[in-house]
Structure 1
Amino acid sequence: MATHELLLDPTGAAEGAQESTLSPRPVTLSGLTIGLLDNTKPNATLLLEEIGTLLTGRHGAAETRLYTKDYFGTPAKSELIAQIADECDVVVTAVGDCGSCSAATVADGILLERAGVPTVSITSDSFLMSGRAMAHVQGFAGFDFHAVRHPMASLSAQEVHERALEALPNVLRILGVED
């Protein structure tokens, strides 16, 4: 007989975590500022910059702004979330390529959505379940995020570029923008 276990949020951020409505999606990225939230994992900056370049070059985004959080294994601090929400129209956050960083990357996306900013969180496919578990704990079980092929940390610049190209359709889909 199956038993149910209570999931506890290891980040301590479950308080007020009942809002599960996505922020309004843009019709286009033209003229928008794209926030790129780096979780400090190897190749996160490169993946985000590649995606940012694709969004500005192919989809008319005005600019990208790179932000770096303090630690990959916990959600971004509320001050950083507020700054990003104030300065950006949409956000891409990456890269979850371990259990705790995948959960934290998804938590970052949910925090930004709740701050009113459409966000795409990117994990690696090996840690998809950690991201889904965090979305569930945060009261946002349907939170959609993208999972790139694992691994990310050991890739060359060309391989990271290829992962960015593969991710682009899902980034656009999650943001609600036509490709």
Structure 2
Amino acid sequence: MAIHELLLDPTGTDEAGQESTLSPRPVTLNGLRIGLLDNTKPNATLLLEEIGAELQSRYGAGETRLYTKDYFGTPATAELLERIADECDVVITAVGDCGSCSAATVADGILLERAGVPTVSITSDSFLMSGRAMAAVQGFPGFDFHAVAHPMASLTAEQVRERALAALPEVLRILGVED
């Protein structure tokens, strides 16, 4: 017999809107401002910068803007999310490589989508279930995000670059941009 447990949202945002519709997707990245939301985990900045550079060089994306959260284990503040939504056309947020940071990374993506900004959240595959659980708690169980191979924190710069290149097709797919 299956036992069902109540899943509580540790972020305190479960009373927010339960909208589960994606923001309109861009047809192209040409000239779009790319927000990179770093959750402060080791190698998050490097992963995001590598992806941003590839989006610029291969797909004509405009400038990238790096933002950093106060703490990896909770969603970004409302003020930071509002600033990102005002300044960016699409966002990539990373990297969830533990349970709480994976959940918070997915919550950030959902909150940005609800603010009208197409967003790709990136977790690691070891914490895929944490991300899925947060999506369900946020009322967006089908929220699509990408999971890179775990671990991320202990990788060299070249290994992070390889993960960024491997993630690029999924980033494009989630944003709705053809490769």
Q: TM-score surpassing 0.5?
A: yes
Distance across 2 between alignment mates of 1:97 and 1:119: 18
Which letter maps to 2:170? N
Q: How does 1:106-145 map to 2 (within 5 A)?
A: 106-145=106-145
Say which SS state the counterpart of residue 72 (structure 2) adopts. Answer: coil
CA displacement, residues 108-140 of structure 1 (integer Å, 9 cap, x when unaligned): 000000000000000000000000000000000
Say which SS state the counterpart of residue 94 (structure 2) adopts. Answer: strand
TM-score w.r.t. length of structure 2: 0.99
Deviates further, 5-14 or 68-77: 5-14
Distance across 2 between alignment mates of 1:166 and 1:16: 34
Aligned to 1:42: 42
* Deviation for aligned residue 1:3: 2.6
Distance across 2 between alignment mates of 1:146 and 1:138: 17
Aligned to 1:20: 20
Distance across 2 between alignment mates of 1:133 and 1:17: 17
Aligned to 1:153: 153
* Deviation for aligned residue 1:95: 0.2
Q: Please, which runs of 5 or more residues in structure 1 have no aligned partner?
A: none
Distance across 2 between alignment mates of 1:152 and 1:37: 16
Which letter maps to 1:169? P
Which letter maps to 1:62? G
Measured on the aligned residues, the alpha-carbon RMSD in Å equals: 0.6
Aligned to 2:82: 82
Which letter maps to 1:167? A
Deviates further, 14-23 or 70-79: 14-23
CA displacement, residues 56-110 of structure 1 (integer Å, 9 cap, x when unaligned): 0000001100000000000000000000000000000000000000000000000
Aligned to 1:99: 99
CA displacement, residues 126-178 of structure 1 (integer Å, 9 cap, x when unaligned): 00000000000000000000000000000000000000000000000000000
Say which SS state the counterpart of residue 71 (structure 2) adopts. Answer: coil
Aligned to 2:177: 177
Distance across 1 between alignment mates of 2:17 and 2:101: 19
Structure 1 residue runs of 4 or more that deviate by more than 4 Å after TM superposition:
none
Distance across 1 between alignment mates of 2:78 and 2:102: 18
How many residues align? The count is 179
Distance across 2 between alignment mates of 1:37 and 1:64: 10
Distance across 1 between alignment mates of 2:62 and 2:133: 34
